[in-house]
Structure 1
Amino acid sequence: MNHIHYYVGSCFFTSEENGSAVSMEEPIPVNKIVNPRRSISRSPTHGIKISLDNRERSSSRRVTEKDIKQAIIFSACLNKLTLSQDEATEYTHLILEELQIGQGLVKTNSSLQLSGITKGQLKDLQPTCWPAPMPTKNIQCLMLAAIVFFHAHWRRIWVVVLWLAACAALFTWKFMQYRQWLAFEVMGYCLSTAKGATETLKLNMAIVLLPICRNIITWLRRSRIINYFVPFNDTINFHKLVAAGIVIGIILHGGIHLSCDFPRIAMADKIIFGRTIANDFGNHQPSYLEIVASTEGTTGIAMVVLMLIAFLLASRPSRRNPGSLPPLVRRFAGFNAFWYSHHVFIAVYVLLIVHSMFLFLAKDVTEKTTWMYVAIPVLVYLGERMFRIIRSMVYDGKILDATTYPGKIHALKMTKPTGFQYQSGMYVFVQCSQVSKFEWHPFSLTSSPGDDHLSIHLRSLGDWSDHVYDVFHEALLSSSSNLPKISIDGPYCAASQDHSKYENILLIGLGIRATPFISVLKDIANDLHKGNNSNRANGLRKAYFYWVTREQGPFEWFRDKMKEVSALDSRQGVIEMYNYLTSVYQEGDKRSMLIGAVQALHFARHGNDIISKTLVLTQFSRPNWPRVFHGLARKHVGERIGQIIWEDSWKGSVIK
């Protein structure tokens, strides 16, 4: 029995002459390949070829079924695709049938190549695109860029400008006010600058709580007027911006006090000290250490330390990628550390009130205004948290079904609590008491409002989700009917809800972040099937969904839902879905030409994509976004297109 070895890139296969089994082995050096006379080589210029042994087959010049099957398997491996033996056999027979009728694939010498018909079919299946019109002058480019930028970000601009103006006004007011105080003779502009920064700190410590009051934001978002002017999609970004303002205020206020104000008080001339601020210190000129050790000094330092811990653990490397940190720091990082450390702000606000009540230079209660700034926001936030706790006790989700998918994904189907009303694109917070009684994590709903159940897809991306995956995986393996208990809190608004504002929408999802759009597409398809499209704000004309993923496995996550959407929209044709797989070499590359030909032949004959196993044809490599955008603009002249992108954070914009 002879063995034939094939080596393509990082994939090495061994096949037997008298069998069809193909197995993967470790790569070996080329000079050790047994019988290299028949091999499949990968070359950017020559593509994938089946090179035949001229001495053995010079008379026949025929490509065997086995050679075609091996080429298909190698092409799939080269493009990181999963292909079973049965599928490889099916696609081989498909090619042989096309060879017999003289279409699709032709045999030239010893190479397997695409014919013009098949390549034309592939091009016809690509989205229609037009080249982007570009201005001819630099001034026109700048003006166009400025107009587009303002049109896309004017909501963010006016909010940030208003916030900066408020901070600047408060700083200037206090700065000018303290120039008139007697203490200015001792501390000078250090005092004015520190007190100006104090006033901005009061404002920022008050408004930093408002962007995370999610129930209030969800309620306000129902108003079309408020929703039009306020960028609710950027609440977390605004929360981070205000936090950055707090950091700047702390540096100015605390740094100037420690480096300038306190030394000047301790070393001031006794005559000037007695004439100006002696009464504020009980007619005793304190030393530097006495000032630092006072109630005002210790509470201020304690607040700085606690906020420093919270800020560091909330940074992106610590929260999202703790593995990149040094080993000593890594054990204290992660989402859990971020979540728990953020709750030290309860102590920070208590210390802030105490700190404000023991000011050296302010003896009158009316001058101690910190509580006036933070009282209402703190009460609103406490009410928000109490409401969430009570509601989560009522909304217990009973698991109806749990399914495991590739990529450590669990799809959970739950009962829909009584009175639970939501819109497509919303998300909920999920708690698994078996893992943690305190942690709540957000997940987009993948079910539509018309369904009688709720569904979410959980991907293992961190310590908490890893534990949840393990708990459900063990329960499923043991065939236990008692699945872990899940509590939900919500629903909460998200940017994907904005799809109802536009007559044309462009939805772009990257990997698992396509989850909210599955709910949106299902909702649109249900409305179209029932004839309720007129109930939408403007009446939907067209919905485009682009799903870009790096691996083939994610297509299995929403396969059933995408098939259902395609079936419901089969008559209207309102929804267009495009799948993109970036692990496959782009169209026209020799390394993906064979798998592309098989895909086109199978889709033309059966109407089913061999990669996603759905009715949506998978495109190769990344989308050409400039062409996609300008193509849509040319196709919908004078119409509004709402573009919603889901990646690391919500982004929404409008294209006209």
Structure 2
Amino acid sequence: MGYWIFSETTTFVTIVIWLGLNIYLFTDTLIWYENADSYYYTRIILGSSLAWARASAMCLNFNSMLILIPVSRNFVSFLRGSLCCTGNMRRLLDKNITFHRLVGYMIALHSAIHIVAHLINIERYHRSQSLDAGGLCNTLSYIGNHPNESYLNPVRRYETSITKETIVTLAGITGFIITLALVLIITSSTETIKRSFYEVFWYTHNLSIVFFIGLVIHGAGQIVRGQTPQSLLQHNLSYCKDHYNEWGETEQCPFPQFSGNKPGAWKWVICPLALYVCERIIRFWRSKQDVIITKVVTHPSGVLEIQMKKQGFTMQPGQYIFLQCPSVSHLEWHPFTLTSAPEEPFFSVHVRSVGDWTQKIITECVANRNLLQNIWHPPRLAVDGPYGSATTNVFNFKVSVCIAAGIGVTPFASVLKSIWYDSCDPNRAMKLEKVYFYWLCRDTHAFEWFADLLQSLEEQMSEQGKLNFLSYHLFLTGWDDNQVKHIALHYDSELDVITGLRHKTNYGRPNWHKEFRSIADKHPSDNIGVFFCGPRSLSKILNSMCRLHTSSDPKGVHFHFSKESF
């Protein structure tokens, strides 16, 4: 915990402030509704469930205001590019999706509290209409049955079905729709659904439109009612509450008048919604810009490289874009890390077949090319971006450790290419002085498309006497008996039998404790950036290694862990 607070101070402070505001809003609203004179008679019927329903509603509005901001990609990119966004603040923006999830979980929590509280409220409203309730409860529930009276209890008759009152009313219908949309959004956001059925995740997330529309009009039902300010002046609460049998018979105790709360959720969400509408307009405008596919390259292991051009497109190493292919789907957009360098005359992505959408993209590109070689018509693509990611911070450290698993190497392709171009230009100065690159793959074919880049880097660094600048370690985690024999036969060769590089491929998985200890020993007083793209299980291991090997001495070595997340 100490390491996390030390290395993620800004993140820690932000979460503490966010949690503190939630606690404050909930507590302040709860206390107000428990003590406000205007809701004294409402509390006679409902008890504490009134305050719990209103306190949770307040926190729901607050978090609904925040939920869209982290996913406003252009706004986040604008903040990332501002002069004040450096160091911890930049790492905070890298966690925008994580914060989006946390806010979503908080919305789910307060939604559950709100729903349970109002179910209790409806039951108590209904029960107070019973003759068995007696006393002040009956008197309050019967107000509104005569002319010039405003009701307090929205359940007007005891014979009314509770189910009907819960669902058929405006508050009930919108509440049911909001809840259903929220359940679908949250359940489809699990890692399993997102990775295996991305289309389900994408489509259900668009139910957020339904969620916000329902949220804005939900309060129009005015289920919760309190005594009007004018009535409080005319109706002496301290006396009349004990003499309810005299209501309407004396001038001192007229029947109290009640009114519902006006809808207020729109005041919380109007600004974020306006920001997000602008975000969508920008994305739509970008989607209509022409994208020219200049080249399509088929790599081993089912990886397709698509090289493109677009007017006005500028990028930085490690950024990502969203792709849409209208011939596959007019609605779906999928994120891909850019694998080209800013210095190249094109931008590219590497697409691996991991689902229906990616398989269709590959089919659209490859099938058309093979069918008509001379008059090939590539599919139309729309591009949104580029957007910043954690990997763009590689160049902000003197020492960076880049770790990839499988196709997770794509963000580092752009980084390593940019390093190669920088090394070719002697006039360029970089803060980055040392790069450790680790790549874990299950089969030898996965190395093939990336080996050419590593060979170019190796040759360039050798010519300039900078062989120590880049230290890369390739790990093959799966192999068969024939490969083992072939590897053993050529073990003494100068170049690696798999990649053709000077650095030999390692077999099995790295001993991360040993690797991090070695790096810490070589850089005893540096801030080291650790950047990872790959499965969550390995991310947890690497994060724990950063925590374990970070020195408690402020002048010692400190590892700063970042991972890619879309």
Which bin holds the TM-score, normalised by the shorter protein?
0.7 to 0.9
Quote the residue 1:252 is aligned against. 113
Change (3 A) 1:493 1:239: same
Alignment of 1:291 with 2:152, yes or no, is no
Match 1:626 to one of 513, 517, 526:
513
Look up the SS of the partner of 1:600 in the other structure.
coil
User: 1:516 Cα deviation (Å)?
Assistant: 0.6
What amino acid is the match of 1:291?
A: E
- Determine the C-alpha separation between the residues in 2 that align with 1:273 and 1:465: 63
Residues 507-550 of structure 1 deviation map (CA, whole Å, 9 limit, x = unaligned): 0011101101010011112112102442x4xx221111111111
Look up the SS of the partner of 1:411 in the other structure.
strand
Quote the residue 2:342 is aligned against. 449
Match 2:523 to one of 615, 636, 641:
636
Alignment of 1:162 with 2:17, yes or no, is yes
- Determine the C-alpha separation between the residues in 2 that align with 1:540 and 1:319: 35
Structure having greater relative contact order (Cα 8 Å, sep ≥ 6): 1
Residues 399-424 of structure 1 deviation map (CA, whole Å, 9 limit, x = unaligned): 11111122221011112x22211110
- Determine the C-alpha separation between the residues in 1 that align with 2:50 and 2:174: 19
Change (3 A) 1:491 1:154: same
Q: 2:352·2:358 contact (CA, 8 Å) conserved in 1?
A: yes
Alignment of 1:197 with 2:88, yes or no, is no
Alignment of 1:569 with 2:461, yes or no, is yes
- Determine the C-alpha separation between the residues in 2 that align with 1:341 and 1:283: 34
Q: 1:362·1:368 contact (CA, 8 Å) conserved in 2?
A: no
Look up the SS of the partner of 2:85 in the other structure.
helix
Alignment of 1:343 with 2:206, yes or no, is yes
**Within-5 A mapping of 1:29-40:** none
TM (norm. structure 1) is 0.70
What amino acid is the match of 2:351?
A: L
- Determine the C-alpha separation between the residues in 1 that align with 2:362 and 2:286: 25
Look up the SS of the partner of 2:407 in the other structure.
helix
Alignment of 1:601 with 2:492, yes or no, is yes
Quote the residue 1:175 is aligned against. 30
Look up the SS of the partner of 1:577 in the other structure.
strand
Change (3 A) 1:594 1:306: closer
Q: 1:533·1:540 contact (CA, 8 Å) conserved in 2?
A: no
Q: 1:510·1:647 contact (CA, 8 Å) conserved in 2?
A: yes
Q: 2:291·2:382 contact (CA, 8 Å) conserved in 1?
A: yes
Residues 253-312 of structure 1 deviation map (CA, whole Å, 9 limit, x = unaligned): 012211x11110111146534665743448863542453121111111121122222222
What amino acid is the match of 1:317?
A: T
Residues 13-37 of structure 1 deviation map (CA, whole Å, 9 limit, x = unaligned): xxxxxxxxxxxxxxxxxxxxxxxxx
- Determine the C-alpha separation between the residues in 1 that align with 2:370 and 2:79: 45
Quote the residue 1:261 is aligned against. 121
Quote the residue 1:215 is aligned against. 74
Alignment of 1:645 with 2:532, yes or no, is yes
**Within-5 A mapping of 1:103-182:** 146-180=1-35, 181-182=39-40
User: 1:355 Cα deviation (Å)?
Assistant: 0.7
Residues 381-416 of structure 1 deviation map (CA, whole Å, 9 limit, x = unaligned): 11101101102212x32111111122221011112x
> How many residues are paired up?
485
What amino acid is the match of 1:160?
A: I
User: 1:591 Cα deviation (Å)?
Assistant: 10
User: 1:318 Cα deviation (Å)?
Assistant: 2.5
Match 1:497 to one of 388, 392, 412:
392
Quote the residue 2:45 is aligned against. 186
More moved, 487-496 vs 612-621:
612-621
Match 2:311 to one of 418, 423, 433:
418
Alignment of 1:358 with 2:221, yes or no, is yes
User: 1:448 Cα deviation (Å)?
Assistant: 0.4
Q: 1:220·1:227 contact (CA, 8 Å) conserved in 2?
A: no
Change (3 A) 1:466 1:283: closer
Alignment of 1:540 with 2:432, yes or no, is yes
Q: 1:510·1:547 contact (CA, 8 Å) conserved in 2?
A: yes
User: 1:216 Cα deviation (Å)?
Assistant: 0.9
Residues 349-374 of structure 1 deviation map (CA, whole Å, 9 limit, x = unaligned): 11111112222235879853211111
**Within-5 A mapping of 1:403-482:** 403-415=297-309, 417-480=310-373, 481-482=376-377
Look up the SS of the partner of 2:95 in the other structure.
helix
Q: 1:513·1:646 contact (CA, 8 Å) conserved in 2?
A: yes
TM (norm. structure 2) is 0.80
What amino acid is the match of 2:284?
A: I
Q: 1:444·1:515 contact (CA, 8 Å) conserved in 2?
A: yes
Change (3 A) 1:306 1:147: closer
Quote the residue 2:402 is aligned against. 507
- Determine the C-alpha separation between the residues in 1 that align with 2:127 and 2:4: 53
Change (3 A) 1:593 1:386: closer
Alignment of 1:517 with 2:421, yes or no, is no
- Determine the C-alpha separation between the residues in 1 that align with 2:216 and 2:151: 20
User: 1:615 Cα deviation (Å)?
Assistant: 4.2
Match 1:309 to one of 180, 184, 196:
184
Q: 1:529·1:569 contact (CA, 8 Å) conserved in 2?
A: no
More moved, 271-280 vs 558-567:
271-280
- Determine the C-alpha separation between the residues in 1 that align with 2:76 and 2:532: 20
Change (3 A) 1:599 1:427: farther
Q: 2:185·2:204 contact (CA, 8 Å) conserved in 1?
A: yes
- Determine the C-alpha separation between the residues in 1 that align with 2:301 and 2:32: 61
User: 1:631 Cα deviation (Å)?
Assistant: 0.5
What amino acid is the match of 2:388?
A: C
Change (3 A) 1:275 1:368: farther
Change (3 A) 1:497 1:601: same
- Determine the C-alpha separation between the residues in 2 that align with 1:262 and 1:419: 58
Residues 42-100 of structure 1 deviation map (CA, whole Å, 9 limit, x = unaligned): xxxxxxxxxxxxxxxxxxxxxxxxxxxxxxxxxxxxxxxxxxxxxxxxxxxxxxxxxxx
Q: 2:222·2:262 contact (CA, 8 Å) conserved in 1?
A: no
Quote the residue 1:617 is aligned against. 504
Look up the SS of the partner of 1:373 in the other structure.
helix
Q: 1:435·1:468 contact (CA, 8 Å) conserved in 2?
A: yes
Look up the SS of the partner of 1:471 in the other structure.
helix
- Determine the C-alpha separation between the residues in 2 that align with 1:629 and 1:532: 33
Root mean square deviation, CA, Å: 2.5
- Determine the C-alpha separation between the residues in 2 that align with 1:283 and 1:341: 34
User: 1:561 Cα deviation (Å)?
Assistant: 2.1
| Structure 1 unaligned spans of 5+ | 1-145, 322-333
Look up the SS of the partner of 2:70 in the other structure.
helix
User: 1:227 Cα deviation (Å)?
Assistant: 4.0
Q: 2:443·2:479 contact (CA, 8 Å) conserved in 1?
A: no
Residues 455-510 of structure 1 deviation map (CA, whole Å, 9 limit, x = unaligned): 11000111111111222221232244212222211000100001121011100011
- Determine the C-alpha separation between the residues in 2 that align with 1:171 and 1:378: 23
Q: 1:280·1:361 contact (CA, 8 Å) conserved in 2?
A: no
What amino acid is the match of 1:600?
A: Y
| Structure 2 unaligned spans of 5+ | 144-149, 227-258, 547-557, 561-566
User: 1:449 Cα deviation (Å)?
Assistant: 0.5
**Within-5 A mapping of 1:275-290:** 276=140, 278=143, 279-281=150-152, 285-286=156-157, 287=160, 288-290=162-164
Q: 2:152·2:225 contact (CA, 8 Å) conserved in 1?
A: no
Quote the residue 2:559 is aligned against. 655
Look up the SS of the partner of 1:179 in the other structure.
helix
- Determine the C-alpha separation between the residues in 1 that align with 2:154 and 2:334: 55
